[in-house]
């Protein structure tokens, strides 16, 4: 366990169809969401267990009030080597500088299209302009680590935009990562026909920019990185066609304190309950350690074996167990 993804909220100001497609959403009760003090205590605990990389996510983390204060609190923790936040960028313009000043190392901004109509078709909100302002603000803020842009590539929606997105990222000194469309819970309309594989993405990029050079992989990072002849680098995250479960060292904490060993896990460990019943730090450490040791999930690899692969969970199953949804457990 070296990498913690911590969801600050299940709420979001977009409705990306590949993540939360239902017409009616159930939100977590405010009293169930971890407070800043609880988050800080849990992060300290995870750091004591070997976590070195922390990524704040959601839902949309920027809709959590007082975020810069929380970032400041967490950035003080000495063992933290990599401290990032993933955002859709809608609320980023006024927050980029305060987040950098609070001690955040790096931002990942999701960007699925540069075309306003398409952006709206995917996210059901007309917010591309705000996202672009957010990206500009992030570039100007000058975070210590390079800005990353993340694109979920979906056939028939945005798969013709790879060259334009690559160029856009390059002009802003950001690195783009193209993500294969995953059948995570929440993506109820997922179909294998809509997945553009890593191989096909590479082919399309090479058709536009010439040969690509694969770069050495770093640690357990899921992205395979490549370089174009002009030096531009980019990544592809092939979680669907080529899962990295065997190398996964990542643990996820939902906004209401449930610990999941995998994006596809059905069950989590209720750490909020344990924290609120005043378990001591050694007791909590013991619980987390044995939970992690006993994990058997290799969700993406197991999904690869399924025949006639369709969406992982139906809308009915999600209504019965909303904790399964991507925006609940944090992508
Ligand atoms: N709201 C923030 C955002 O969109 O960046 C953070 C949370 S979001 C769940 C984290 C990441 O998961 C985003 O980059 C999003 O594109 C990705 N994601 C969500 N559903 C996905 C799916 N079905 N396949 C691949 N990536 C997905
Ligand atoms: Fe919201 Fe991010 Fe999910 Fe889109 S991918 S609906 S922005 S949580």
327 CA to centre of ligand 1 in angstroms: 8
- pTM for the model stands at 0.94
277 CA to centre of ligand 1 in angstroms: 33
Of 76, 80, 65, nearest to 33 by C-alpha is 65
Cα 154 to Cα 18: distance, rounded to the nearest angstrom:
9
Of 2, 66, 11, nearest to 40 by C-alpha is 66
Mark 135-150 as b/e (b = at least 16 C-beta within 10 Å): bebbbebebeeebbbb
286 CA to centre of ligand 1 in angstroms: 31
pLDDT tens, the chain, 331 aa long: 899 999 999 999 999 999 886 676 778 899 999 999 999 999 999 999 999 999 999 999 999 999 999 999 999 999 999 999 999 999 999 999 999 999 999 999 999 999 999 999 999 999 999 999 999 999 999 999 999 999 999 999 999 999 999 999 999 999 999 999 998 877 888 889 999 999 999 999 999 999 999 998 766 568 899 999 999 999 999 988 877 777 788 899 999 999 998 877 878 899 999 999 989 999 999 999 999 888 876 766 777 777 777 877 777 777 777 777 767 766 6
Cα 229 to Cα 301: distance, rounded to the nearest angstrom:
33
Domains present along the chain, CATH in parentheses = 3-329 (3.20.20.70)
- Is the minimum distance from the CB of 235 to ligand 1 under 6 angstroms? no
- Is the minimum distance from the CB of 184 to ligand 1 under 6 angstroms? yes
pLDDT score at 220? 57
Residue nearest to atom 12 of ligand 1 (CA): 331
pLDDT score at 183? 87
Q: Which of 59, 130, 131 to mutate to test the pocket of ligand 2 (most atoms within 8 A of CB)?
A: 59
Q: Which atom of ligand 2 is nearest to the CA of 20?
A: 6
Q: Which of 130, 326, 328, 330 to mutate to test the pocket of ligand 2 (most atoms within 8 A of CB)?
A: 326
Residue nearest to atom 20 of ligand 1 (CA): 19
Q: Which atom of ligand 2 is nearest to the CA of 15?
A: 6
Question: What token pair was written down for 190?
Answer: 């997922």
- Is the minimum distance from the CB of 15 to ligand 2 under 6 angstroms? yes
Q: Which atom of ligand 1 is nearest to the CA of 190?
A: 23
- Is the minimum distance from the CB of 91 to ligand 2 under 6 angstroms? no
- Is the minimum distance from the CB of 152 to ligand 2 under 6 angstroms? no
- Is the minimum distance from the CB of 19 to ligand 1 under 6 angstroms? yes
pLDDT score at 123? 96
Pairing between β-strand 233-237 and β-strand 175-180 as defined by DSSP bridges: parallel
Q: Which atom of ligand 2 is nearest to the CA of 58?
A: 8
pLDDT score at 239? 84
pLDDT score at 15? 93
61 CA to centre of ligand 2 in angstroms: 10
Residue nearest to atom 1 of ligand 1 (CA): 60
- Is the minimum distance from the CB of 88 to ligand 2 under 6 angstroms? yes
Cα 207 to Cα 227: distance, rounded to the nearest angstrom:
14
13 CA to centre of ligand 2 in angstroms: 8
Which bound ligand lies closest to the C-alpha atom of 109? 1
CA distances (Å), origin 109, targets 13, 30, 135, 210: 14, 26, 7, 27
Residue nearest to atom 4 of ligand 2 (CA): 16
């Amino acid at each position: 366990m070296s990498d913690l993804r911590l969801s600050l909220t299940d709420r979001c100001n977009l409705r990306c169809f590949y993540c939360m497609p239902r017409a009616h959403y159930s939100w977590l009760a405010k009293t169930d969401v971890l407070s800043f003090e609880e988050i800080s205590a849990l992060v300290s605990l995870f750091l004591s267990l070997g976590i070195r990389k922390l990524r704040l996510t959601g839902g949309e983390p920027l809709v959590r009030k007082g975020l810069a204060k929380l970032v400041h609190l967490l950035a003080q923790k000495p063992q933290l080597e990599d401290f990032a936040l993933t955002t859709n960028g809608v609320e980023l313009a006024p927050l980029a500088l305060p987040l950098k000043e609070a001690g955040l190392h790096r931002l990942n901004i999701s960007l699925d299209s540069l075309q306003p109509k398409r952006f709206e078709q995917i996210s059901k909100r007309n917010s591309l302009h705000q996202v672009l302002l957010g990206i500009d603000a992030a570039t100007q803020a000058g975070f210590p680590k390079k800005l990353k842009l993340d694109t979920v590539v979906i056939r028939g929606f945005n798969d013709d935009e790879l060259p334009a997105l690559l160029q856009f990222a390059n002009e802003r000194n950001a690195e783009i990562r193209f993500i294969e469309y995953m059948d995570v819970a929440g993506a109820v309309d997922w179909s294998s026909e809509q997945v553009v594989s890593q191989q096909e993405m590479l082919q399309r990029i090479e058709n536009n920019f010439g040969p690509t050079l694969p770069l050495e992989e770093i640690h357990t990072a899921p992205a395979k990185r490549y370089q174009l002849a002009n030096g531009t680098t980019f990544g592809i995250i092939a979680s669907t066609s080529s899962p990295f479960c065997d190398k996964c060292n990542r643990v996820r904490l939902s906004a209401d304190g449930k610990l999941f060993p995998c994006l596809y896990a059905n069950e989590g460990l209720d750490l909020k309950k344990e924290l609120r019943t005043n378990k001591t730090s050694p007791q909590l450490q013991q619980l987390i350690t044995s939970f992690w040791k006993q994990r058997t999930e290799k969700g993406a690899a197991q999904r690869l074996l399924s025949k006639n692969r369709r969406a992982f969970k139906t809308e009915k199953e999600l209504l019965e167990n909303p904790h399964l949804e991507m925006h609940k457990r944090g992508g």
